[in-house]
Structure 1
Amino acid sequence: MRVLISGASGMIGSALAKSLADEGHNVLTLVRPESRRSGISWHPGLALEDHPDLEGLDAVVHLAGAGIADRRWTAARKNLLWQSRVESTAHLRAALEERNDPPKRFLCASAIGWYGHRDNDILDESSSPGHGFLANLCAAWESAAQSNTMASACLRFGLVLDRSGGALNKMLPPFQFGLGGPLGQGRHWQSWIGLDDAVRHIMHLCTAPVEDVRGVHNVVAPEPIQQRDFASALGKALQRPAWLPTPRWAVQLLFGDMAKEALLASTRVVPTRRLEEGPSFLTPDLEDALRHALRRKSER
């Protein structure tokens, strides 16, 4: 199988590339023109130029883009998110559609922010969209990925757990010093998944029948958890106390709209399609997933 990955230097992309290569698949990557990494050169703000390796691909996995929760959403940051997620996806999808032998599958990252803040509602792939900047961003992002010539799938990622990067990496310092705890009252729901299970889901979609690929897939574990319980589980995994809450007002002061729509939003998402069609989970339990994520780095 020949698979092209954008964002292959990121946490998910690098793990996916390694897993595919370990199984003997031919992995190709898109890299920025200034990158020292080998791969097919592409600037996300521009059209993808012709390259012979773009013909006859089995799957394209598009993960590249600015981090949604990396920093405060200023007007400039929101514009960058829109350009790097929506516009780059449209450029890439259009370029791939123009191939003489276009890819069979186009798997595009999205986020569970599509659902917005929903209190205790249980949400699956059939649920209605939310409201706000993040929900609108995800909706436009997914719309840009739709194709008439490729089987398009939108991967709505929850919180992907790995010590090497992402949100967990940012959470660790205060927890390691015994200063961790819930955000606000910690009653909002968090939907999460271990990195290995996220990669396993993507690899399944790279080979699944196209009728099972098309549409939306929630890339989350089957048991979402309230944020205070997440904080407690992380403290337990680190063998540290997790009793010190960060007041809601402080989170909002530091992060503005991002606090309301991402950090403090309640999004209780379940992976209905994976449970019906996809592979089993390696670590469906949060405590097991955290222990595995924390152990991975020491094993590398």
Structure 2
Amino acid sequence: MIPPWMKTAKCGLHGVRHPFLIGLEPIGKYGGAMKRIVLTGGSGLIGTALHDSLDSDGHHLIQLVRRTPQHPHEVAWDPGAVLSPDVLAGADAVVNLNGASIGRLPWTPRYRRTLRESRLHATRTLATAIRTLGTDAPSFISGSAVGYYGDRPGEDLTETSSAGDTFLAELCVEWEEGAHAAGENARVALLRTAPVLHPQGVLKPMIALTRLGLGGRLGPGTQVWPWISLDDEVRAIRHIIDSDLSGPVNLSAPTPATATQIGRALAARLRRPFLVPAPSWALRLGLSRDAADSLLLSDAHVEPRALLADGFEFQHPTASEAIAAAID
């Protein structure tokens, strides 16, 4: 059923009436092709920044929300229920960023279920609706994470590398399988996103400790952390929307950095000491083994080969540049 706020015209799949094709100019206000995009997870850090970026350039957005819609571009949905394909008809791309925050700690057994269900239910629901559209299916740009690779010290991890065996790696495998259910008519790109170096991202707890003078080595400190700036994350997603890239795409900066290098760069930016170590056993005790091993102690040198081969250029190729851009 089409929501009553939508302006309609008879066009598209089986003569369906849908919101995207009514009175839209084929050219955006800055001269580029205007995109019609459906977005889920638009209230999170990445989703909010992506929404604002696309909206500021004049693209047409429909945001799926789990609450009562408050704006004309919002449509209510239940990620665990059937979604009418009419809502997606006419879109160029569906960008799926839905999922509970992995930064909420500790990962209790109950919260691990929430992490899993919030991703799998939404992804499968969207994939089913997209598959129903057949040859009119939009591109499906679906979230995943570099946690797919698990703990792999000494390896150079690319999009062709195998999955790891951590909780987060196993979740990413299921998550990506759910996206592929969109069918052969849809271009499916999987956003294997690295932790975002931002005050509301992976830096949030580190900033609090560092400002208190409690910043220091996490575990051995030599583990390589994949990372990306928020600006480059948004730019990379937009690049993928506009490109022909499909399959897994690593959204991780090209310059590797260890946990200690990132911690020291943050401490230098905040003009605070970097002295107090947190041993691995303490991190596992305080955060749960799953969370500590997946987020803080895993060693994964993730290379963004697909993006670089497709001509993408990073604005913040080093961790110190990303931290300087994120923290005034």
TM-score by length of 1: 0.92
Asked if 1:290 corresponds to 2:327, the answer is no
Q: 1 CA distance for matches of 2:306 and 2:153? A: 22
Q: 1:153 aligns with which of 169, 189, 193?
A: 189
CA contact (8 A) 2:145 2:191 kept: yes
Q: 1:132 aligns with which of 166, 189, 204?
A: 166
Equivalent in the alignment of 1:188? 223
Asked if 1:239 corresponds to 2:274, the answer is no
**Alpha-carbon distance, 1:37 to partner:** 5.5
Q: 2 CA distance for matches of 1:144 and 1:236? A: 42
Deviations for 1:34-93, whole angstroms, at most 9, x for unmatched residues?
A: 464651111112121354x52110111100111123122222222222211122211111
Q: 1:225 aligns with which of 257, 265, 268?
A: 257
Asked if 1:208 corresponds to 2:272, the answer is no
Q: 1 CA distance for matches of 2:307 and 2:75? A: 31
Q: 2 CA distance for matches of 1:284 and 1:275? A: 12
Equivalent in the alignment of 1:173? 208
TM-score by length of 2: 0.84
Amino acid at match of 1:280: E
**Alpha-carbon distance, 1:214 to partner:** 1.1
Asked if 1:22 corresponds to 2:53, the answer is no
Q: 1:72 aligns with which of 99, 106, 121?
A: 106
Deviations for 1:104-160, whole angstroms, at most 9, x for unmatched residues?
A: 310111011110101121111111111132111100100100132210011111111
Range with bigger deviation, 260-269 or 136-145:
260-269
Q: 1 CA distance for matches of 2:187 and 2:106? A: 34
**Alpha-carbon distance, 1:102 to partner:** 4.0
Higher helix share goes to which structure? 1
**Alpha-carbon distance, 1:100 to partner:** 6.6
Distance 1:238 1:102, change over 3 A: farther
Q: 2 CA distance for matches of 1:248 and 1:266? A: 13
Q: 1:84 aligns with which of 115, 118, 123?
A: 118
**Alpha-carbon distance, 1:168 to partner:** 1.3
Structure 2 residue runs of 5 or longer lacking an equivalent are 1-34
User: SS of the counterpart of 2:95?
Assistant: strand
Distance 1:126 1:101, change over 3 A: closer
Deviations for 1:229-249, whole angstroms, at most 9, x for unmatched residues?
A: 111111111121112111211
CA RMSD in angstroms, aligned pairs only = 1.6
CA contact (8 A) 1:61 1:108 kept: yes
Structure 1 residue runs of 5 or longer lacking an equivalent are 296-300
User: SS of the counterpart of 1:228?
Assistant: helix
Larger Rg, first or second structure (1 or 2) = 2
Asked if 1:271 corresponds to 2:304, the answer is yes
Deviations for 1:175-234, whole angstroms, at most 9, x for unmatched residues?
A: 12222112112111101010000100000111113xxx2111000100121111111111
Asked if 1:258 corresponds to 2:294, the answer is no
User: SS of the counterpart of 2:327?
Assistant: helix
